[in-house]
Amino acid sequence: MKYFNLHTHQFTNQSDVLELVNQYPKDFDASIPFYSIGIHPWYIEEARLHEDLKIIEEKLQTQNCLAIGECGLDKRIAVPFDLQISVFEKQLELAEKFKKPVVIHCVAAFQEVMEIKKKMKINVPMIIHGFSKNNQLAKQLIGAGFYLSFGKYLLKNPDLKSVFQNVSNDRFFLETDTIEESIKQVYELASNYKELKLKELESVISSNYRNVFE
């Protein structure tokens, strides 16, 4: 693996990229080599909940499933927040049971996510994907034991440069999520921001990958 893409919604099948492809229980695609699977807060369907959690539990026991997610909390949607918390906590229980890291979608609910991690005594790695916030929140999250993943906003928002530079090298990942740019382009910008050679950055992320996913 030369490049690791922590979170993407499209499988591009490049030999030098390990892609953690986001999957949903009801649209599962068995042809994807490595994936995360979870119930996104946007797509919580109470009628399917039991079935979705059963599928997730089954997939978490396979080698190709590297993580649970994306799952989490989002205060800007109509899905009742109590229901979101309940579904998130059920998935965290599965993550702990099967010792799988968690890829987290979080919008305007960072304090709640930190509180849930503490309350449930979650020991598996938790990664906030698509991080786009400020230095203060980044420090708070890392202090609480989270990893941060950067991608779309790193490319589109120059203000994120200093936040990314301040994140210690053992606490971050890179991703493409839904953007058209390749993971290689994200790596190039990140190596520039971190003032690391591309090879050095590859080594940093490979080391983080081993710590979290192996």
Phi first, then psi, for residue 16 (nearest 5°) are: -100, 10
* pLDDT tens figures, 56-84: 999 999 999 999 999 999 999 999 999 99
Can you read off the two tokens belonging to residue 146? 């989270």
Q: Which residues are registered as beta bridge partners of 18?
A: 4
Name the nearest CA neighbour of 29 among 57, 4, 64. Answer: 64
pTM for the full predicted model: 0.97
Q: How far apart are CA 56 and CA 68, in angstroms?
A: 8
* pLDDT tens figures, 104-149: 999 999 999 999 999 999 999 999 999 999 999 999 999 999 999 9
Domains of the chain (ranges, CATH numbers): 3-213 (3.20.20.140)
C-beta separation of 144 from 114 below 8 A:
yes
Can you read off the two tokens belonging to residue 59? 């997939």
Torsion of CA 185, 188, 191, 192, to 10 degrees: -110
pLDDT for residue 1: 86
